[in-house]
Amino acid sequence: MPDPDLSFLPDLLNRTADLLRLSGANDFKAGAWNKAAVIVEQEGEGLRSRSSEADLKELPGIGSSLASELHTFLTEGILPQLIRLEEELPDSLIQWLDISGLGPKRAAKIHQKLDIDTLEQLQEALKDGRVAALPGFGETSAKKLLNSLAWMEGNSERCLLSEALDMKEWLREELEDTPGLQRLEFAGSLRRSRESIGDLDILAVTSGSDTDLHRRFVRLDQVAEVLVSGDTKSSVRLQSGRQVDLRTVSENEFPAALIYFTGSKEHNVFLRSRAREKGLTLNEYGLYPLVEGEADRDHPLNAEDEAAVYAHLDLPWTPPELRESGYQSWIQSDRLPVQVNEEDLKGILHAHSTWSDGTHTLEEMARACMDLGYQYLGITDHSQSAVYANGLTPDRVEAQWKEIETLNQRFQDEGMDFRIFKGIESDIKRDGSLDYEDDLLTGFDFVIASLHNHFDLEKPEQQERVEKALQHPATTLMGHPTARLVLRRPGVKLDMDAVIRLAARQGVGIELNATAERMELDWKWGPLAREVGLLTAVCPDAHRIEHIPHAGRFGIPMARKGGFEPDRILNTLSATDFLKRVTG
């Protein structure tokens, strides 16, 4: 068999730890798997050189049983313990782990004390007071869990953009060499770069019969159920539960079909209305003259691509990311923003190292940025209140600054045009203050102020807290402003209109956090952000080297979707200009 992909191993080890806790195992046993995940991540590809269990036992914290598990993964690509747990635990109980705020230990307590294991039973126990009566819970905790459960169930038919992109890559690889296939494009909310995706829509053109493509599509290995099997449309449900629809059209129909199936519904209504104003009618097959109120299908207007369709409507071609409700005024007035591209990013901001809860050292993170062509890294390890993330005490801040100065000198001596900036991700404390005294805060090149706790404050108190942090003279950016987790947890209660206006007045940016689970500032605030001139930075919130490219993969589409042009994105600036901008 081919060598297993080691990038998945830390997540599999952490999942095993969660399932162990869910099964009732003690924290010491489960914690060993979490520690193994850290060790494995640090070893990286070097793990492959440990060809025996004895070699693996030489790693710190790896005992006989874990060495056996790791050896099996290296040779067979599986973790036997994880497979056993997934077979032994009810699938419905494992779903509890997706409920924000519950966690495996608390889930295990509810499961064992109340002898329940389904989401429906949990919901009833939260409603009738049985969970609240358990030690360590209470009415407030039960209410929060009930809200989290409702939120999760309301989004169960969707997946993260990152998951959808992985499926897109797999589907393209599986289908692209089908005989006769000429064009294959993904449409729908995936093409519009929504933060969560429902069904996947594929549009294709073939040179002859469509049968080969549809037959191949419904017979893919990961297909769990064939919903529709036809010559022009097929639908399947994958083993992941995701529905995928494939449609084939002619080359002439493709431009209008791509517009139609990309959406959104509101954008399509807008285009059809515009066509009517021009004496035309637009549908998924093409653009036609209206003759006595009917489409003249014998004389379709020539349109070789999407841009030609928009041109017939006297509109600029609209990037898919902007085909949402709220952007029509930009389109009609031809005020579409200049699209930012990945190559516009000059540096990486918001990244963590082993100084706090990152996996790689400061030098490793910096050199990974260099390898990707960036000019600088703004390191932002966690501040001291984030004890859970090994946050930096003032003494450790100053020690990190010394390492940064040493590394910058080393890079200069090596002839590298690269710089590390001294940043921090400061917790916003409950009273709105930042996490260090002012005399220490002034020593940073820039500060990201973030919410990491007290999510349940009522709106007035939360608003006052955030506004105070925005007005602190040291604040450069506000990180992931509502602290939401897409499909898992709603954001905190804030008047975002007021937050955005205040940030713009203060010259403080609000980041576009490219973590797949965060994806905020939410794109829906794009029109207001553009109106008031809000600054941002496209940030990967990287906790390991592999996260750094997320700035481009997820962050750039998000910036386009919010209408952020390059001149409003701080990390499109050169290293020199960035430092001038943030230090005034």
Average pLDDT of the residues in 284-301: 86
For 182-246, the DSSP string reads EEEEE-HHHHTT-SEE-SEEEEEEESS-SHHHHHHHHT-TTEEEEEE--SSEEEEEETTS-EEEE
Average pLDDT of the residues in 206-224: 88
Average pLDDT of the residues in 473-494: 92
Q: Is residue 89's pLDDT more than 90?
A: no
Asked if residue 562 lies in contact with residue 529, where contact means CB atoms within 8 angstroms, the answer is: yes
Q: For 374-410, how does the pLDDT look when each residue is reduced to its tens digit (9 = 90+)?
A: 999 999 999 999 988 899 999 999 999 999 999 999 9
**Res 562: pLDDT:** 95
Average pLDDT of the residues in 550-569: 96
**Cβ-based neighbours of 536, under 8 Å, separated by 6 or more:** 477, 509, 510, 511, 512, 521, 529, 559, 562, 564, 568, 569, 570
**Cβ-based neighbours of 76, under 8 Å, separated by 6 or more:** 1, 4
Q: What percent of the chain has pLDDT over 90?
A: 62
Name the residue among 122, 142, 563, 140 with its Cα closest to residue 326.
563
Q: What percent of the chain has pLDDT over 70?
A: 98
H or E element that contains 349: strand 347-351
* Residue 580: CA count within 13 A, CB half-sphere: 5
Q: Is residue 157's pLDDT more than 90?
A: no
Nearest-angstrom CA–CA distance, 152 and 395: 41
Please state, in angstroms and as integers, the Cα–Cα distance from residue 572 to each residue in 16, 165, 336, 533, 552, following that order: 40, 25, 19, 16, 12
- The 10 Å Cβ neighbour count of residue 322 is 23
Asked if residue 274 lies in contact with residue 315, where contact means CB atoms within 8 angstroms, the answer is: yes
Average pLDDT of the residues in 13-30: 88
Nearest-angstrom CA–CA distance, 242 and 516: 18
DSSP 8-state symbol, 551: I
Domain extent listing, the chain: 6-154, 159-248, 263-332, 342-583
Average pLDDT of the residues in 157-163: 86
Q: How would residue 154 be classed by pLDDT, with cut points 50, 70 and 90?
A: low
Q: Which long-range contacts (CB under 8 A, 24 or more apart) does 12-15 make?
A: 12/73, 12/79, 12/82, 13/37, 13/40, 13/79, 15/82
CATH 3.40.50.1370 fits 263-332, yes or no: no
Q: What is the pTM of this model?
A: 0.77
**Res 156: pLDDT:** 61
Rounded (10°) CA dihedral 283, 285, 289, 292: -70
Average pLDDT of the residues in 299-311: 93
The 294-295 sheet, strands edge to edge = 280-283, 286-291, 294-295
Q: Is residue 208's pLDDT more than 80?
A: no
**Res 2: pLDDT:** 58
- In one-letter notation, the amino acid at residue 503 is A
Q: How would residue 205 be classed by pLDDT, with cut points 50, 70 and 90?
A: very high
**Cβ-based neighbours of 318, under 8 Å, separated by 6 or more:** 267, 310, 327, 331, 336
Q: 6-154 sits in which CATH class?
A: mainly alpha
Query: Which of 81-90, 430-439, 506-515 is predicted least confidently?
Result: 81-90
Q: Which of the four CATH numbers 3.40.47.10, 3.20.20.140, 3.40.50.150, 3.10.150.10 does domain 342-583 have?
A: 3.20.20.140
Q: For 169-196, how does the pLDDT look when each residue is reduced to its tens digit (9 = 90+)?
A: 999 999 999 999 999 999 999 999 999 9
Q: Is residue 200's pLDDT more than 90?
A: yes
* Choice between 50 and 208, residue whose per-residue pLDDT is larger: 50
Q: Is residue 155's pLDDT more than 60?
A: no
181-186 and 200-206 strand pairing: antiparallel
Q: Which residues pair with 348 in a beta bridge?
A: 377
**Whole-number average pLDDT of the chain:** 91
Q: Is residue 576's pLDDT more than 80?
A: yes
**Res 553: pLDDT:** 94
Q: How would residue 101 be classed by pLDDT, with cut points 50, 70 and 90?
A: confident
Q: For 422-466, how does the pLDDT look when each residue is reduced to its tens digit (9 = 90+)?
A: 999 999 999 999 999 999 999 999 999 999 999 889 999 999 999
Q: For 223-276, how does the pLDDT look when each residue is reduced to its tens digit (9 = 90+)?
A: 888 888 888 999 998 887 788 999 999 999 999 999 999 999 999 999 999 999
Nearest-angstrom CA–CA distance, 233 and 248: 7
**Res 537: pLDDT:** 98
**Res 42: pLDDT:** 76
Nearest-angstrom CA–CA distance, 50 and 37: 16
Q: Which of the four CATH numbers 3.40.1410.10, 3.40.50.1100, 3.40.50.720, 3.30.460.10 does domain 159-248 have?
A: 3.30.460.10
Q: Which residues pair with 569 in a beta bridge?
A: 536
- 287 alpha carbon, distance to own chain's centre: 36
Q: How would residue 297 be classed by pLDDT, with cut points 50, 70 and 90?
A: confident
Average pLDDT of the residues in 500-526: 96
**Res 7: pLDDT:** 72
* Choice between 94 and 430, residue whose per-residue pLDDT is larger: 430
Q: For 117-136, how does the pLDDT look when each residue is reduced to its tens digit (9 = 90+)?
A: 888 899 889 888 898 899 88
| Residue 532 main-chain phi, psi, to 5 deg | -95, 0
